[in-house]
Amino acid sequence: MPTHTQKTTGTAVQAQGSHCWVLTLELPGRMSTTSHGAFTPPSNWTRYDAFMAIKDEVARQNPELTNANVVFFSIEPNQL
C-alpha cells in the first residue's frame, strides 16, 4: 500500500491516491510523530479498514510505534 503522496512538478499532474490521510501517534513521555500520505483503498474497504492498514504500515516503518496511542486520524477524499 503506497502511503506517501507523489509530488507534482511544473504543470504535469502525477497520479495520487483517491484519499488523503493524516495520523498522529504518541508514546507518552517519549515521542510523538505525525505521518501523512495518499492512497486508494479497495472499493469494499471501510474507514476502519483504511485506519488499521495505515496504522499498521506506519508501525511497520517505525516498530517502536506498534503500541503507540492514536492522538489524531483523518482520512478524506483527495479532491478539492
pLDDT of residue 1: 52
pLDDT of residue 15: 83
| Domain boundaries, position 23 | 19-77
pLDDT band at 14 (very low <50, low <70, confident <90, very high): low
Tell whether 49 is covered by a domain: yes
Give the three cell numbers for residue 13: 499532474
If residue 56 lies in a helix (H) or strand (E), which one and from where to where? helix 47-61
Tell whether 73 is covered by a domain: yes
What are the pLDDT digits (tens) for 25-67?
Answer: 999 999 999 999 999 999 999 999 999 999 999 999 999 999 9
Query: What is the spatial distance between Cα 1 and Cα 67, in angstroms, rounded to a whole number?
Result: 21
What is the count of structural domains for the chain? 1
Answer with the residue of higher pLDDT: 67 or 8: 67
Tell whether 30 is covered by a domain: yes
